[in-house]
Structure 1
Amino acid sequence: MPGKFITIRFLEFKGFSAKRYAFAEMGRSLVNGWMADGLVFSKQLGTGAGNGFSVLPNFGLYAWLGVWESPAHAEQFFQHDSRWLKLIHESTNISGWDAVPMKGKGTWNGLQPFDFSEGETDWDGPVAVITRASIRWFKSLLFWWNVPSASKHLEGKQGLKYAKGVGELPLFEQATFSLWESARNLDQFAYQSKEHAPMIKKTRQYDWYSEEMFVRMKVVKLVSSQWSVVSGQ
């Protein structure tokens, strides 16, 4: 059953012990996936150094994505799941958002876990985006050669509140989570940005990816006060 509710969390860790625990939990998640009532799909993801778009890892920041049957299932998990509570106990800060999927395409590890039945409803509040891809191993060098210039195009874009490059496996499994003030700001970047178009052209030209996914969601709750946008709900 595709999920109707999305939760994205960024967890920060400070100190060697906490970072070691988070790194070990990241490895554990690749073997022993997260399980909970109503959890349709989940990923624990590492981040890159700097703005996240780097081959060098940031051992102090991890992302967690959950796709749920309902908000009630997510709330139950975050309040009572022992594995989650242990992880956040080691962290120093948690931020992120709750959202409802609006539209998307593609797959993640062969799965399409999002329910887009609400479709393109009118929404005046903030929106978030997941872009994710598996990079063909023999084209990874070419891809990462182009990433620094591409990531700079996001910096300072009107309406962009947050963007972070994340991944499951270094170099080959990459995604971007981004938060925007409105769908209008996102569309201006996606469809009108002169800097964004060349990267799209290169993607098609070089056929970097063996799998791609794009998901747009309407944000119904912000978990952290660090982003000065107001929920549209």
Structure 2
Amino acid sequence: MNPLLLPPGQCAVLQLFSFEGTIAKTWGAYRMVLSRLFTPQFPGLQFIKPLGIGSGHGYRAWPKWEASGFFMVFESPQAAMAFRGRKEFREFVEKSDENYCIFMSPTSSRGSWSGFDGWQLHQNLDSSGPICSLTRATLKPEFLYRFWKMVSPISLEQKDYQGLIFSQGIGELPLVEQATFTVWESVRDMETFARKTFHGEAVREVYRLNGFKEQMFTRFLPWHTEGTWQGKDALAPYLAPNDLVFSSSI
């Protein structure tokens, strides 16, 4: 087995966990809350959000109580790998029934998440393959009803859409703090969905009504995965780490 080729610079990680049984689910929820205390001090960790997981495709108000996760940003892939060796993290892996991790390099971003916008963007990476998209927002209370009324058509339209590899709703608080993480076969597929479907109309409506307190839209190039989600590694057919050529320029 060839060694994993690590890109230079900043590394983003989406980590998902699923737990079975009342004891494991309770442990997972409890430790996810406590994670806010022990994770910020880890060397090289620049940003972290403990997450709830949506029950359906894309945005969904109702969470999966048996699932949770983290979105993290590290100063380097080496720091990300070191974090995964930490005892507190290994406990999550050992007690979970299933876990899935996607390693990524940020390529573009606008907006912020809880004030974080410190992206070190990779400008010279090959973007001809799969692309990840993280869209997150903090909703204004007066906009909640209108937003969730638009969600169902978007989720149905996204399901089985051409070029969609993976989709998972994530968030900090049900209803108010929401995000969708998707992976597409190409930038073209992602932009076609964003602009030529009801999703595009909904985004224009949100901007017209100024319905978000805060929002962030970030793209990433995925370069490695570990584990499975719902029984499979959806990105595996698209990733060949040793064939990637990473630029030393960021």
Same fold (TM over 0.5): yes
Please say if 1:145 is aligned against 2:149.
yes
Which residue of the other structure, out of 190, 197, 204, is the alignment partner of 1:201? 204
Once the two structures are overlaid, the 10-residue window that deviates more, 124-133 or 199-208, is 199-208
Over the aligned positions, Cα root-mean-square deviation in angstroms equals 1.9
Matches within 5 A, 1:91-130: 91-116=96-121, 118-119=122-123, 121-130=125-134
Shift of 1:138: 2.2
Which residue of the other structure, out of 74, 85, 110, is the alignment partner of 2:90?
85
Q: Structure 2 residue aligned with 1:42, among 21, 43, 48? A: 48
Aligned-partner Cα distance in 2 for 1:182–1:52: 18
2:75 matches 1:69: yes
CA separation in 1, counterparts of 2:39 and 2:84? 16
Q: 1:66-123: per-residue Cα shift (whole Å, max 9, x none)?
A: 10111111111102x111111111101111311100001001111213211x226432
Quick one: structure 1 residues 30 and 206, their matched pair in 2 at CA, closer, same or farther if it must change by over 3 Å?
farther
Which sections of structure 1, spanning at least 5 residues, go unmatched? none
Do the aligned residues in 1 keep the contact of 2:102 with 2:224 (CA within 8 Å)? yes
Residues 56, 194 of structure 1: CA spacing in aligned structure 2 closer, same or farther, 3 A cutoff? closer
29-38 vs 91-100, greater mean Cα deviation: 29-38
- Consecutive unaligned residues of structure 2, counting only runs of 5 or more, are 1-8, 245-250
The residue type equivalent to 1:164 in the other structure is Q
* Counterpart position of 1:211: 214
Change (3 A) 1:148 1:120: farther
| Deviations 1:128-179, CA, capped at 9 Å, x for gaps | 1110100002221221222112222211111111111111112111111111
198, 221, 226: which one aligns with 2:233: 226
Identical residues among aligned pairs (%): 28
Q: Is the 8 A contact 1:46 1:58 kept in 2?
A: yes
Once the two structures are superposed, residues 26-81 of structure 1 have per-residue CA deviations (whole angstroms, 9 ceiling, x without a partner) of 322456654311111111100122225322221112121110111111111102x1
Judge conservation of contact 2:57–2:159 (CA < 8 Å) in 1.
Answer: no
Distance 1:59 1:37, change over 3 A: same
- In 2, distance between residues paired with 1:179 and 1:42? 20
Aligned residues of 1:53 and 1:165 also touching (Cα < 8 A) = yes
Between the two proteins, the alignment pairs up a number of residues equal to 228
Give the TM-score, by structure 1 length: 0.90
CA distance in 2 between counterparts of 1:136 and 1:194 reads: 24
Structure 1 residue 5: deviation in Å? Answer: 0.7
Alignment partner, residue 182 of structure 1? 186
Q: How far off is 1:188 after superposition?
A: 2.0
**Normalised by the size of structure 2, how large is the TM-score?**
0.84
State the distance in 2 between where 1:112 and 1:18 align.
Answer: 34
Instruction: Tell whether the 8 Å contact from 2:164 to 2:185 is kept in structure 1 after alignment.
Output: yes
One-letter code aligned to 2:186: S
Q: 43-52 vs 100-109, which deviates more? A: 43-52
The 8 Å contact of residues 56 and 169 in structure 2, kept in 1 or not, is answered as: no
Distance 2:41 2:25 in 1: 23
